[in-house]
Amino acid sequence: MTLADVARMAGVSSASASLILNRRAGTRISSETQERVRTAARELGYRPNIAAQSLRTDKSHTVAFVSDFVSTTRFAARMIRGAMKAADELGQVLIVVETEGDVEREARAMHTVLDRQVDGIILAAERARAVDIPDFPDSVNVIMLNAMNDAHPHAILPDELQGGRTAVRELTAAGHRDIGLVGYDFESGIGGSSPSVTLERRMHGIREQMAADRARFIAQGGSRRWEPEEGYRIARAQLRAGPVRAFLCLNDRLAFGAYQAIAEAGLTIPDDISVVSFDDDDISSYLRPGLTTVALPHEAMGRLAVERLYRGSPAEEVLVAMPSIRRGSVAPLSVGARRTG
Amino acid sequence: MTLADVARMAGVSSASASLILNRRAGTRISSETQERVRTAARELGYRPNIAAQSLRTDKSHTVAFVSDFVSTTRFAARMIRGAMKAADELGQVLIVVETEGDVEREARAMHTVLDRQVDGIILAAERARAVDIPDFPDSVNVIMLNAMNDAHPHAILPDELQGGRTAVRELTAAGHRDIGLVGYDFESGIGGSSPSVTLERRMHGIREQMAADRARFIAQGGSRRWEPEEGYRIARAQLRAGPVRAFLCLNDRLAFGAYQAIAEAGLTIPDDISVVSFDDDDISSYLRPGLTTVALPHEAMGRLAVERLYRGSPAEEVLVAMPSIRRGSVAPLSVGARRTG
DNA sequence: GCGGGATGCATAATCGATTTAGCAGTACGA
DNA sequence: TCGTACTGCTAAATCGATTATGCATCCCGC
């Protein structure tokens, strides 16, 4: 079923059919003719051939989502999901390519999708970071998702500054002032696997809010890997060293480890000790009690990427709020409730 | 950079340029001319416009991956990853659409991708099941991935019969004959969330292998939901009822719960009790000791889907082997090692 | 009765490839 | 010398849309 078929059935030229079906005609075509064409299109089940459209108009209604990882964690998947929902709403479609961080595959991916005349490219990274990307024509619309690149200022990132503040406030609002920090050490600067702008921002937010609320870290434990084992190790050390009543963990896996250490010490969350963390990983809802965590808003970010490409929004850095997900690992500090025995 | 540019630079017609770059010419074009054209293409960085190609040839080198879920579990993501790897190797690209199981969105997705002249459609389901799909032209190449549909015999499924046998053999090979079954009850038929062909096959394989190895279920606990809580409940009941030394769990989340019950009973895995499960979920590698599980081969299945579409393989049901992932939750039965005190 | 403008539609070019049919030129055998 | 068979390439149609231009026709005012 082509446009020509529709035109023939309606007894008009395909030019008119095109004008009518694209509603570009204004008043220049009689309403009877318009009706005839629309009816014909409906009866024949006409659907435009997008390859032909794209050839002529240079619009493919297709966006490329090029990511270093799609399946390692659910984070990347959430960004994809957000992007796909927005695409669906806007009549777009997503070509998804995984590069596994391989530079050669990245370059290949860029070309492959450009060959398909995509309307824009979303370059996503699983963990917010600066990425190297191959050169390509300036005409191409590119947006960095959870990633940064000097040549491409259009980027969507989590608002880590606000996120850091929010996490601290979860604890201070419950009365906590003496807090154990798990995963980072301000003195040595150790924390996280690589120097990352977003981590800096998060730590900055944490520091600001701690000062604002007159709270202090009575213990700090840094580690490069942010896995349950390290969380366990650091939390145990802090519990042994002193009377910690609140942990601020830099991600949910660290918090998972901290939970173990807390249980081992015979303490109860949140009555004896409160825990707050970052990311909203799957495990945070599996844990008992559920972990209160400041979420990385990946779905919202993915959605925004598609929408901004579609709208041709200005190339600027966009920060997406990190909401706090309260699940029950924080309780008001009640003096003397702990270790009364 | 179009083909015409290349042709102009090489001083030939675009027809010749096309023939040469597609290597269709055979001996009909002089090698000097061929060289000139290839050089021109290289120097100009010529890349064919796939929209134009697709318009003319009806091949878009694009495959649609329509799935009910892409981001809920890592299973779906693994299928996508396998599909993408194969696509990358074959010079194809994947359009990914998520329908969330919504019939209307499924229909819309089918049309959207058909409009884009995809070479084939992969219809994937997160959990192996029969799916309803909208009608579309017979000319479209469709393959069911982890799903079944009467109208479309071309399907790729895990070999659950073999998988069931394999799981049992993991235990019987270690000397276990008296086994506790977690998640299913042969007498009541209760187990799993919905009647599923693949579950039937798995249970059939389990039954066969149990008989072949002269083993028996000394306890069975069925449940519709296969979540950690149920695993915990069922395992605890079985441990209290009698001297179970081996658990066969129907998925890793049930096993996760069983681990808790076992720890609570003061028993050690695998010395006191062996555990085998299905799926190879993430948690199976997080657990201590690592969980021995019969994996759902999702990545291999995704890969196969793209390859078979590409090759135009016959429309048949393809079963993919479920490999056993040994991690240390199974140990040889040593009589008297348990509860000696 | 005629120029001018609006109305309603068609013609044809175009996007960038593929592919069939066929045109020159040469070689060769009879 | 002529017919035939290759060889090496080009012209032009084609895929299915969009869009600039143009051609009738009619209405209107003068």
Same domain for B15 and B90, yes or no, is no
The proportion of chain A whose per-residue pLDDT surpasses 90, expressed as a percent, equals 78
**Residues B173 and B277 both lie in one domain:** yes
For residue A95, the tally of other CB atoms under 10 A from its CB is 22
Beta partners for B148?
A: B130
Same domain, B249 and B238: yes
Phi, psi of B33 (to 5 degrees): -60, -45
Note the pLDDT of residue B27.
65
pLDDT recorded at residue B25: 65
Q: What pLDDT does A170 receive?
A: 98
What mean pLDDT value characterizes chain B? 92
Residue A341, in any domain of the structure: no
Nearest residue on chain B to A112, alpha-carbon basis: B93
Number of domains chain B contains: 3
- A182-197 residue pLDDT tens: 999 999 999 988 777 8
Chain A neighbors of B110, CB-CB under 8 A: none
Beta partners for residue B295, in sequence order:
B279
* Residue in the block written with tokens 């209760």: B190
B327 occurs within a structural domain: no
Strand B216-222, strand B178-183: pairing: parallel
Q: Is A139 exposed, middle or buried (0-12, 13-18, 19+ CB in 10 A)?
A: exposed
Please provide the average confidence, as pLDDT, over all residues in chain A.
Answer: 92
Residue A340 lies in a domain: no
Q: Specify the CATH number for the domain of residue B146.
A: 3.40.50.2300
pLDDT, residue A27, reads 65
- Nearest neighbour of B95 by CB, restricted to A47, A55, A94: A94
**Residue B340 belongs to some domain of the structure:** no
> CA B67 to CA B209: how far, in whole Å?
34
Is pLDDT of B341 > 50? no
Q: What per-residue confidence (pLDDT) applies to B26?
A: 64
**Structure-block tokens of residue B321:** 């082997």
What mean pLDDT is predicted for residues B67-73? 81
8 A C-beta contact, residue B34 and residue B25: yes
Taking the C-alpha atoms of residue A298 and residue A263, their distance in angstroms, rounded to an integer, is: 31
Q: Are B34 and B80 within one domain?
A: no
Taking only the tens place, the pLDDT of each residue in B161-187 is 999 999 999 999 999 999 999 999 999
Distances (CA, A) of A307 to A54, A86, A141, B100, B109: 20, 7, 13, 20, 19
Count H helices, E strands: chain A? 12, 12
Chain D bases near protein Cβ (<7 Å): 7-12, 14-20
Tokens of B122: 């992969």
CA-nearest residue to B59 within chain A is: A51
Residue A73 resides in a domain:
yes
Cβ-Cβ pairs closer than 8 A, A with B, add up to: 103
pLDDT tens readout for residues B179-211: 999 999 999 999 988 777 889 999 999 999 999
Q: Is the pLDDT of residue B132 over 90?
A: no
Residue of B70, B71, B93 with shortest CB distance to A116: B93
pLDDT tens-place string over residues A22-57: 977 666 888 899 999 999 999 999 999 999 999 999
- Output A247 or A106, whichever has higher pLDDT: A247
Let me know whether B194 and B132 are in one domain: no
User: If interface means Cβ-Cβ distance under 8 Å, which residues of chain A face chain B?
Assistant: 47-52, 54-55, 60, 62, 70-71, 74, 77-78, 80-81, 84-85, 88, 91, 93-98, 105, 108, 111-117, 228, 286
- The predicted model gives B76-100 an average pLDDT of 94
B196-199's contacts with Cβ under 8 Å and 24+ in sequence apart are B196/B127, B196/B128, B196/B129, B197/B128, B197/B130, B197/B148, B198/B128, B198/B157, B198/B158, B198/B160, B199/B160
User: B153 pLDDT exceeds 60?
Assistant: yes
Angstrom distance (rounded) from CA A67 to CA A70: 6
Q: Where are the alpha helices (DSSP H) in A60-99?
A: 74-89
A108 versus A134: which is more confidently predicted? A108
Q: Which pLDDT does position A25 carry in this prediction?
A: 64
Please check whether residue B37 lies inside any domain of the structure: yes
**Mean pLDDT to the nearest integer, B145-151:** 92
| Integer CA distances (angstroms), B173 to A1, B232, B274, in order | 61, 26, 12
CATH number of the domain that B32 lies in?
A: 1.10.260
My answer on whether B212 and B314 are in the same domain is: no
Q: What is the mean pLDDT of residues B270-287?
A: 91
pLDDT of residue B80 exceeding 90, the answer is yes
Statement to judge: residues A65 and A38 lie in one domain: no
Which pLDDT belongs to residue A85?
95
Cβ atoms A204, A161 nearer than 8 A: yes
In a domain, B235, yes or no: yes
Shared domain for B220 and B230, answered yes or no, is yes
Direct distance between the N- and C-terminal alpha carbons of chain A, in angstroms, rounded to an integer: 82
CB B81 to CB A71 under 8 A? yes
**Which tens digit of pLDDT belongs to each residue from A136-162?**
777 789 999 999 999 999 999 999 999
Same domain for A129 and A173, yes or no, is no
| Residue numbers of the domain that contains B25 | 3-48
d(CA B86, CA B101): 25
The predicted pLDDT at position A341 comes to 34
Buried-exposed string B214-244: b where 16+ CB fall within 10 A, e elsewhere: ebebbbbbbbeebebebbbbbbbebbeeeeb
pLDDT score recorded for residue A226: 94
- Chain C bases near protein Cβ (<7 Å): 7-12, 14-21
The torsion region of residue A281 among left (phi > 0), alpha (psi -120 to 50) and beta comes to beta
In this model, does residue B338 exceed pLDDT 60?
Answer: no
Question: What Å value separates CA B33 and C1' C27?
Answer: 21
Q: What is the largest CA-CA distance in chain B?
A: 93
Inter-chain residue contact A50 with B77, CB threshold 8 Å: no
> Are A177 and A287 members of one domain?
yes
Do A131 and A210 fall within a single domain? Answer: no
Percent of chain B with pLDDT over 90: 79
> Do A258 and A270 lie in a common domain?
yes
CA of B21 to C1' of D4 (A): 32
Would residue A192 count as lying in a domain?
Answer: yes
Backbone torsion region of residue B6, taken as left when φ is above 0, otherwise alpha when ψ lies between -120 and 50, otherwise beta:
alpha
* pLDDT classification of B340: cutoffs 50, 70, 90: very low
pLDDT at A196: 79
Which tens digit of pLDDT belongs to each residue from A224-278? 999 999 999 999 999 999 889 999 999 999 999 999 999 999 999 999 999 999 9
Task: Give the model's confidence band at A339: pLDDT under 50 very low, under 70 low, under 90 confident, else very high.
Answer: very low
